[in-house]
Structure 1
Amino acid sequence: MTVSQSGPEPKPIPRQATTPSNNQPSSSSRQTNASGVSLIKSFEGLRLKAYQDAVGVWTIGYGTTRGVRPGQEISEAQAEALLKTDLNRFENAINQAVRVSINDNQFAALVSFTYNVGAGALRSSTLLRKLNRRDIYGAANEFPRWNRAGGRVLAGLTRRRNAERALFLGQDYRRFL
């Protein structure tokens, strides 16, 4: 799905002098935690037969788009394998793009975001620029801006961005699922 940023600025959250706890450095072998995988699976859903998403991109499994053909069918085990491959690709993108220490929930939220919008969108985003300037709350407030696909605000993307933002800030993201 092609997701774009537009619309009004998100309502700011008061900035605090400290960042969320559990601040651990990124590592090249870092993997998405269980909360991040749960968030991704919840929003992507599982589809064992190829379909076109909201903007016409052929998709299968848990949101896999690479190499998907019309009429293609896969098993649940194949969907899990595709998810693992996709996660690895986006985890690597986060490890390369983020230049500051982040905790596991922040990493997982960024993987979910990048899984949905793509690594190129992340790399050019204000969210990443703010994060790399150590503006944690400014970065968090960028998530809600990415709630459009095909030029339209989508309720599912709004919920997903709110869930990612909550996870990023160490809050309960499950209320948005």
Structure 2
Amino acid sequence: MCNFTYSDAGFALTKQFEGLRLTAYQDQVGVWTIGYGHTGGEVHGGMTITEDQADTLLHSDVAAAVTCVNRAVTSNIAQSQFDALVDFVFNLGCGSLLSSTLLRYINAGQFDLAAPQFLLWDHAGGVVVPGLLARRQAEMALFQSTTP
């Protein structure tokens, strides 16, 4: 188990791929969304927020991903690797990490085998999604940028 906090570089990565919308909109499946991908019962049509409010919501929303990674990873990792994993979990959910070969390789200390595993998570509906591929490539690059 590790005890990291999400760094500014990690937040920058998440912000880059989530994008910022200060007016609520309905996503592809009709869920009201605002800020950096924030959803919840309080989000509704016509709602607007400031960028500072969006940052606050993102910090709150990412907390579950931080907790998941801190609990799941048992090997010694670097901050950049933690940040890559938090973005992965924020986007895909804790269950995806927990059941992944990615996590198995990381906990075995096999970082060279773990890194390419990010790229296997670029599909939606059985089709490669360019935005997901770009996000996984960015996570993999961040993961590989430092080793413990």
Q: TM-score, normalised by structure 1?
A: 0.74
Instruction: Pick from 124, 141, 157 the counterpart of residue 116 of structure 2.
Output: 141
Quote how far apart the aligned CAs of 1:100 are: 0.8
What is the number of equivalent residue pairs in this alignment?
Answer: 145
Matches within 5 A, 1:10-159: 26-27=2-3, 30-54=4-28, 56-67=30-41, 69-71=43-45, 72-159=47-134
Distance 2:127 2:32 in 1: 19
Q: Deviations over 1:34-70 (max 9, x none)?
A: 2211111111010122333345544321122344644
**1:175 matched to which residue of 2?**
none
Q: Is the 8 A contact 2:103 2:114 kept in 1?
A: yes
Distance 1:106 1:60, change over 3 A: same
Instruction: Pick from 139, 144, 148 the counterpart of residue 169 of structure 1.
Output: 144
Quote how far apart the aligned CAs of 1:78 are: 1.6
Q: Which amino acid in 2 is paired with 1:48?
A: L
**1:8 matched to which residue of 2?**
none
Q: Which amino acid in 2 is paired with 1:60?
A: I
Q: Which amino acid in 1 is paired with 2:110?
A: D
Distance 1:65 1:148, change over 3 A: farther
Q: Deviations over 1:79-131 (max 9, x none)?
A: 11111112222111100111111000000000111110011111111111111
Higher relative contact order (CA 8 A, sep 6+): 1
Instruction: From the two aligned structures, give the one with the greater helix fraction.
Output: 2
Which stretches in structure 2 are left out of the alignment for 5+ residues?
none
What is the alpha-carbon root mean square deviation over aligned residues? 1.9
Q: Is the 8 A contact 2:2 2:71 kept in 1?
A: no
Q: Is the 8 A contact 1:60 1:68 kept in 2?
A: no
**1:15 matched to which residue of 2?**
none
Q: Deviations over 1:11-38 (max 9, x none)?
A: xxxxxxxxxxxxxx821xx211222111
Which stretches in structure 1 are left out of the alignment for 5+ residues?
1-24, 172-177
